[in-house]
Structure 1
């Protein structure tokens, strides 16, 4: 049974990657998706918001970060440490980012250890979540490494989890294990879908 689910997830992941890589107008669609995220009432209400920084063919967030920084909110971005865990960084300026390993834009190493730059998952009022594949009920599939699962488990129960995706990353159903976390919303270029969340 578990092997079947693993095989199904692998196929879905491959299909979602192929769909996402083939997606045209990524910049334009991403700007539209990010604008919808920043128009959410939960965004208006939040003091501390986590943005992910796009990698490869994900919905692009980096062009919307300067707007978010100018908006007077505390913007947090995640980065991956050597132990393969996500840590949170208080971003105040785009100059604090540099291209690191795997050509990923991340906080500069010399700034990461500064106490004023660190943040805990419990401090987040709204979390933007990337992913590989989703369904319209908020089920999410990542890269299978569990980076975000650990982070999301430690965020406050009242903090909305909002995923960004292209419509081509949505599938009728994503197999979920009991510990997997559903998103509260999924925003695509077409719609804002209401997910099951963590209820």
Structure 2
């Protein structure tokens, strides 16, 4: 990574974090309701029976109401567990049981499955800081999802869950950055490639 590219990513991440922190309660509630409906539509239209998701932190798009709905509908949801080696393990989540993970982020409590369990899902829904129009996903800098997605020979469709304003013309890209197949925002589903 060049110093300029690293600085560009850090500056963009800082700007995006600040935007997320200054959102009002009304904006968050409105987006959560809309995002839940959009995620439900994604699952129903694609007849998804199993997926990988994440437990959203307070500033992230809130996927928790959707997670509870998915559990009630019998959709099998795998949630990540961070590992010291930079990879992710997975566990089946119920939308309720959680603990604090390696980096202070919420993580699922459950029987730990290997990273290979990810190959059995119909779709992977990842967190992201932003996504460019070309499908380049920029995460928060730890590389967990890039490593996980980059290690999969046959991966299911991958969609980043972001706020509408985080769908940008472009984001800084490094060789290790894994693209996504689409995005899901409170207002829409966009597929880049299938």
TM-score of the two chains, using structure 1 as the length reference: 0.82
Please tell me whether the aligned partners of residues 20 and 166 of structure 1 are also in contact (alpha carbons under 8 angstroms).
no
Q: How far has the Cα of 1:75 moved from its partner?
A: 1.0
Q: How far has the Cα of 1:142 moved from its partner?
A: 0.7
**Aligned counterpart, 1:37:** 39
Q: Distance in 2 between matches of 1:90 and 1:156?
A: 22
Matched positions, count: 192
Q: How far has the Cα of 1:43 moved from its partner?
A: 6.2
- Mark the CA change 1:144 to 1:105 in structure 2 (over 3 Å): closer, same or farther: closer
**Aligned counterpart, 1:2:** 2
User: CA offsets, 1:28-62, max 9 Å, x none?
Assistant: 20231232122126864333211111013010111
Q: How far has the Cα of 1:90 moved from its partner?
A: 1.2
Q: Which runs of 5 or more residues in structure 2 are unaligned?
A: none
**Two-structure CA RMSD over aligned residues (Å):** 2.6
Q: Does residue 71 of the first structure (1) align with residue 68 of the second (2)? A: no
Q: Distance in 2 between matches of 1:166 and 1:16?
A: 10
**Aligned counterpart, 2:18:** 18
TM-score of the two chains, using structure 2 as the length reference: 0.84
Please tell me whether the aligned partners of residues 137 and 194 of structure 1 are also in contact (alpha carbons under 8 angstroms).
no
**Aligned counterpart, 1:107:** 108
Q: How far has the Cα of 1:149 moved from its partner?
A: 0.8
Please tell me whether the aligned partners of residues 121 and 152 of structure 1 are also in contact (alpha carbons under 8 angstroms).
no
Structure 1 outlier segments of 4+, above 6 Å: none
